[in-house]
Amino acid sequence: MEVKVNKKVKSTTEEDLHSLSKEELIAKIKQLEAHNVQLKCIVQKSLQSREEVTHGKATKKHRPFDFSKCFKRHILLRFYYLGWDYQGFAAQEDSIETIEHHLFAALKKVCLIESRETSNYNRCGRTDKGVSAFHQVISLDVRSKFRPEEQLLEDNLETELDYCSMLNRVLPDDIRCLAWMPMVNPAYSARFDCRSRTYRYFFPRGDLNIAAMEESTRYLVGVHDFRNLCKMDVGNGVVNFVRSIDAISIKPCQVDGSRDASYDMLYVELRGKAFLWHQVRCIMAVLLLVGQGKEEPSVVKELLDVEQNPCKPQYSMASDVPLNLYECLFNEKSIQSADGEEQQVTDGESDLREWIYNEENLRRTISELQGLWTKQSVKATMVREMLKTLQEKYAGDRPICDQPALLIEGVRSKEYCPLLQRQRCESLENRIAHYAKKRRIEVSIKSNDINADGSDEPVSQHSVTDSTNNDAYVDHDVTRIEN
């Protein structure tokens, strides 16, 4: 018997590429592009089949819904979701486990929209993997029972399609539509007309020095360059890290019944218009280090001084599980015109109306949340009773209060190295140069972007864009080149 072993093909080296002619390079690029398209098709088919198996439904052929015979109206929809088991809010090519995927699957299933592309869709925030939201809002055009000129009549609002109940019947249990708002202005955008976003990060008290953490939070209020307190997303065109935190505070949430204060729950609440990629989780990581006594409260002030500390120290972020997009507030008047261009806000009648809640849908949603609370609380109480029994047997000199320690990701070293003494990440300028060289971004320098020393090195005033936690606003001095 003769056996032939197929050796693994080695990847093409840079030297091999230099030896190829122009025609050979073009042929190779075309081959790679075709292979990429083929792989995307395979992934999409795999995801589709997996979704059918997950929902246990065979593919059925339905008569297409005729949207040409329907009226449309522009609305805001308010959702909550528990994002712990999802890959983030925004839809992704290689995953169906996103909030947006399930939202649009539900919207199309109940025939409220024909497609995402034709729905005039905008989202208020774009939360990351594992992050939850109590007040996520989207704006879009949906099917209506009434003509446009009759849609805002009081009686018609009461008898309009029950959007939330329709969606909740087909959404996963941990995603729920809470309310909808009829819009006067068809250009009103959940993204561009959101004037503030509030996040809450929940954590146990443990042995944290809350007073020191509160002292640290005072440095964060106002306009700062947060490049050392976020994950820089230069590859996606984000090169301006100046943001404003309007308010930040630490508040008690739940008191432990056994009078052991280390098991009390608190939360940090941050309010601002726009947040950077992983900004809240990086801030929380530093605040927890301050609370543990490993850093002085002034370390936050040092990290915000990008002239003295232009490169971010390497540290692990706080866990994504306790983070919640808790509230969003909106402009009374839209800054968007009908053609999508930004316009000056003028006084006049508000574009906003009251949120419409359906009592039966609200009752059902509260009941479902109570059921979830019961399951999680029973588990937490069981673990708490086990801890009480073990702590009665423990005779050590110091009480064990490691509850908050596990909220910081990564490996804990035996000897703690202060933040400002750690190895640093690349500077912003080096990252911009790196991605510009790879042709991922193109940087145009404005005349007023010349540095104080007269050089025209790229500086951080090129772009204002939201990276992940929301999509608040975009400036086009940095252009991302799509692959």
Q: What is the pLDDT of residues 256-307, one digit of tens each?
A: 877 788 999 999 999 999 999 999 999 999 999 999 999 999 999 999 999 9
Partners of 143 in the β-ladder: 72
Label residue 347 by pLDDT band (50, 70, 90): low
Using CA atoms, how far apart are residues 62 and 59, in angstroms rounded to an integer? 9
> What's the pLDDT score for residue 10?
60
Q: Quick check: 27 pLDDT over 90?
A: no
Could you say which of 85, 94, 128, 256 is catalytic? Answer: 128
Residue 160 CB: number of other CB atoms within 10 A?
19
Q: Quick check: 181 pLDDT over 50?
A: yes
| Tokens, residue 268 | 């940090």
Q: Identify the CATH class of 68-182.
A: alpha beta
- Fold match flag (68-182 vs 196-325+416-421): yes
Average pLDDT over all residues of the chain: 84
If one compares 443 and 377, the residue with the highest pLDDT of the two is 377
> What's the pLDDT score for residue 461?
35
Residue 433: enclosing H or E segment and its boundaries?
A: helix 428-437
> What's the pLDDT score for residue 437?
82
- Directed axis angle between helix 279-291 and helix 210-220, to 10°? 140
Q: Quick check: 41 pLDDT over 80?
A: no
Using CA atoms, how far apart are residues 101 and 103, in angstroms rounded to an integer? 6
Tell me the CA distances in angstroms from 435 to 143, 234, 241, 451, one per residue in order. Answer: 43, 7, 17, 21
Give percent of the chain with pLDDT exceeding 90: 60
C-alpha torsion angle, residues 127, 128, 131, 132 (rounded to 10): 30
If one compares 459 and 39, the residue with the highest pLDDT of the two is 39
Residue 272: enclosing H or E segment and its boundaries?
A: strand 265-272
Label residue 364 by pLDDT band (50, 70, 90): very high
Q: Quick check: 392 pLDDT over 90?
A: no
Give percent of the chain with pLDDT exceeding 70: 83
Q: Quick check: 475 pLDDT over 50?
A: no
Mean pLDDT is highest, among 23-32, 154-163, 234-243, 465-474, for 154-163
Mean pLDDT of 75-96: 93
If one compares 371 and 394, the residue with the highest pLDDT of the two is 371
Residue 245: enclosing H or E segment and its boundaries?
A: strand 242-254
Q: Would you kindly state where each structural domain of the chain is located, as residue ranges?
A: 68-182, 196-325+416-421
> What's the pLDDT score for residue 283?
97
Contact 429, 461 (CB under 8 A): no
> What's the pLDDT score for residue 346?
58
DSSP string, 47-83: HHHHHHHHHT------PPP-GGGSEEEEEEEEEEE-G
> What's the pLDDT score for residue 290?
97
> What's the pLDDT score for residue 414?
84
Residue 294 CB: number of other CB atoms within 10 A?
14
> Is 260 labeled as catalytic in the residue annotation?
no
| Tokens, residue 255 | 């008191």
Mean pLDDT of 63-75: 88
> Which tens digit of pLDDT belongs to each residue from 186-227?
999 999 999 999 999 999 999 999 999 999 999 999 999 999
Q: Which CATH number fits domain 196-325+416-421: 3.20.20.70, 3.30.70.660, 3.90.220.20, 3.40.50.2300?
A: 3.30.70.660
Label residue 474 by pLDDT band (50, 70, 90): very low
If one compares 221 and 11, the residue with the highest pLDDT of the two is 221
> What's the pLDDT score for residue 349?
82
Min mean pLDDT across 8-17, 23-32, 303-312 is at 8-17
If one compares 14 and 217, the residue with the highest pLDDT of the two is 217
Report which of 84, 85, 101, 83 is spatially closest to residue 93, judged by C-alpha positions: 101
Mean pLDDT of 137-153: 95
Mean pLDDT of 145-158: 93
> What's the pLDDT score for residue 342?
63
- For the stretch 185-188, contacts whose Cβ atoms lie closer than 8 Å and that sit 24 or more positions apart, written own/partner, are 185/74, 185/334, 185/336, 185/351, 186/74, 186/120, 186/141, 186/338, 187/334, 187/336, 187/337, 187/338, 187/340, 188/74, 188/76, 188/139, 188/334, 188/336, 188/351
> What's the pLDDT score for residue 473?
32
Q: Quick check: 157 pLDDT over 70?
A: yes
> What's the pLDDT score for residue 336?
74
Mean pLDDT is highest, among 329-333, 438-442, 473-477, for 329-333
> What's the pLDDT score for residue 52?
58
DSSP E strands in 82-234: the ranges are: 122-123, 132-144, 175-182, 194-204, 222-225
Global pTM reads 0.81
> What's the pLDDT score for residue 482?
43
Backbone region of residue 355 per phi and psi (left: phi > 0; alpha: psi in -120 to 50; beta: other values):
beta
Label residue 159 by pLDDT band (50, 70, 90): very high
> What's the pLDDT score for residue 412?
80
Distance of CA 332 to the CA centre of its chain: 24
For 121, residues 6+ apart whose C-beta sits below 8 A from its C-beta are: 138, 139, 140
Residue found under tokens 């599980």: 321
Residue found under tokens 């002239």: 307
Q: Quick check: 150 pLDDT over 70?
A: yes
For 439, residues 6+ apart whose C-beta sits below 8 A from its C-beta are: 481
